[in-house]
């Protein structure tokens, strides 16, 4: 939830090992959480966004 009460979804973007972390934030109108999650899932599936843990 954002500061103004809107639902928010943050997705990490795919990156190479030498690149800095990057992500996108999607904000939806109040009450549209299901649409927000569906859109986030579509982005993950189509564009290859995923979380990868950095090597230790």
Q: What is the pLDDT of residue 7?
A: 93
User: What are phi and psi for residue 17, nearest 5 degrees?
Assistant: -60, -35
Helix (H, G, I), strand (E, B) or coil at 26: strand
**pLDDT tens digit sequence for 1-56:** 667 889 999 887 766 777 787 788 899 999 999 999 999 889 888 876 666 666 66
Query: What is the tens place of the pLDDT at every residue in 39-49?
Result: 988 988 887 66
**What is the C-alpha separation between 7 and 36, in angstroms, rounded?**
8
């Amino acid at each position: 939830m954002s500061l103004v009460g809107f639902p928010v979804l943050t997705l990490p973007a795919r990156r190479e090992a030498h690149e800095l972390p990057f992500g996108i934030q999607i904000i939806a109108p109040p009450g549209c959480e299901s649409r927000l999650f569906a859109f986030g899932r579509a982005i993950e599936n189509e564009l290859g966004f995923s979380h990868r843990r950095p090597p230790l």
